[in-house]
């Protein structure tokens, strides 16, 4: 699977030919229209030419290609609202269209014009992004100093294209959502752009992964050497168009193996379920420990109460006067006031302290 490039010019500059080859090697399902004329948003606007307009099943990107002029290379400074510069080079280090401050202006105007065209062709204004690809002069090394994403205009980006896989990485860095571009919509856009290339037939677009009118195309799934599965085949797109947002294909990146792969949010759910299960197990274990501790405390309290009751009973028995009868020896007169037997009272002597039990007052 690779981007299908159509409408190429034989006299295209080296930089555009290089980007066309990189698009073919992208292994991204889609269609790239080279040198397309985008009509202006107003009747008085002459319109402009975009170096490439790339359609994928879920995106539309307007690409402007710029080559550097410096023979020595260096750091290319790319402010949003100012002129671009390169240390040691006088003037603009890349080609700038007349009336523009820098290439971002050219990319933005093409993006807005193309967005207006999508509403005319499809009946709905679709999201369109813009990308400025910087191709260094042969034999030079260029470093890009561009603004942060927050400072860039919405939908616009700058890419240093000094390696063939840079463009592929840019297309694969986001999360892919539901299909936006179908065979019929892409064909309608080609009519508006005035592109009549036999290579962009309905069957060819269906084979590239665009849904809608793909019944005649043989579905296929291709696993690339980059490790992702092409889910944008005819069968995959048909399933994706009827799926909910929970089952839309997502781009997954494994940081340990540095491999890019296609997956779904459902494929990540078992991992979440595992985490929930482990949380439930930890909560159940904590509840069990708390219940065990409560049982120990309750048992200790019962033991203390029983022990206290037993001690109280023993104390009551020990403090009650006990009278026993001791028969007087024969021949001895009984003591006065004693009815023939000696009464011995066994009571605690004064000065001795009876036993205590827990919670007894004055104990």
| Per-residue pLDDT at 23 | 94
Gap between the Cα atoms of 176 and 184, Å rounded: 20
Q: Is the separation of the CB atoms in 346 and 321 below 8 Å?
A: yes
Gap between the Cα atoms of 117 and 310, Å rounded: 97
Q: Where are the alpha helices (DSSP H) in 44-182?
A: 103-122, 165-172
Gap between the Cα atoms of 244 and 120, Å rounded: 28
Estimate to the nearest angstrom the gap between the alpha carbon of 89 and the chain centroid.
42
Among 194, 151, 146, smallest CA distance to 37 is for: 194
- Could you report the average pLDDT of every consecutive run of 10 residues in the chain (363 residues)? 89 94 90 92 80 94 96 95 94 94 95 91 87 95 94 95 86 70 94 92 92 47 35 40 40 41 41 59 79 82 73 59 48 48 48 55 58
R_g of the chain, CA atoms, integer Å? 45
For the whole model, what pTM was predicted?
A: 0.59
**b/e 173-201 (16+ beta carbons within 10 angstroms → b):** eeebebbbbbbbbbbbbbebbebebeebe
Q: Which residues contact 128 (CB under 8 A, 6 or more apart)?
A: 60, 61, 62, 111, 114, 115, 118, 155
| Per-residue pLDDT at 342 | 45
Q: Which two tokens stand for residue 145?
A: 């100093």
């Amino acid at each position: 699977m690779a981007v299908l490039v159509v409408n190429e010019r034989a006299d295209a500059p080296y930089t555009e030919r290089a980007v066309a080859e990189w698009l073919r090697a992208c292994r991204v399902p889609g269609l790239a229209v080279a040198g397309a004329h985008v009509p202006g948003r107003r009747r008085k606007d002459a319109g402009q030419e975009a170096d490439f307009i790339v359609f994928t099943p879920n995106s539309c990107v307007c690409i402007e290609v710029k080559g550097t002029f410096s023979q020595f290379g260096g750091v290319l400074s790319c402010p949003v609202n100012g002129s671009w510069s390169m240390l040691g080079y006088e003037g603009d280090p890349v080609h700038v269209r007349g009336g523009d401050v820098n290439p971002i202006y050219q990319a933005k105007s093409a993006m807005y014009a193309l967005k207006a065209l999508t509403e005319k062709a499809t009946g709905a204004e679709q999201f369109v992004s813009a990308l400025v690809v910087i191709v260094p002069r042969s034999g030079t090394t260029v470093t890009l100093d561009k603004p942060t994403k927050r400072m860039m205009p919405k939908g616009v980006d700058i890419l240093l294209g000094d390696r063939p896989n840079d463009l592929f990485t840019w297309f694969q860095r986001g999360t892919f959502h539901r299909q936006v571009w179908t065979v019929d919509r892409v064909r309608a856009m080609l009519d508006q752009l005035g592109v009549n290339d036999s290579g962009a037939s309905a069957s060819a677009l269906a084979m590239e992964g665009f849904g809608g009118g793909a019944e005649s195309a043989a579905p296929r799934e291709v696993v690339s050497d980059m490790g992702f599965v092409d889910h944008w085949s005819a069968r995959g797109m048909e399933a994706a168009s009827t799926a909910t947002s929970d089952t839309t294909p997502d781009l997954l990146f494994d940081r340990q193996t540095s491999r890019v792969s296609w997956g779904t949010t459902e494929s990540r759910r078992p991992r979440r379920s595992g985490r929930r299960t482990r949380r439930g197990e930890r909560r159940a274990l904590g509840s069990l420990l708390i219940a065990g501790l409560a049982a120990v405390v309750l048992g200790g309290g019962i033991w203390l109460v029983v022990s206290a009751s037993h001690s109280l009973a023993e104390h009551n028995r020990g403090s009650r006067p006990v009278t026993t009868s001791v028969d007087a020896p024969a021949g001895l007169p009984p003591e006065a006031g004693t009815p023939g037997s000696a009464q011995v009272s066994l009571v605690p002597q004064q000065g001795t302290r009876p036993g205590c039990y827990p919670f007894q007052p004055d104990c």
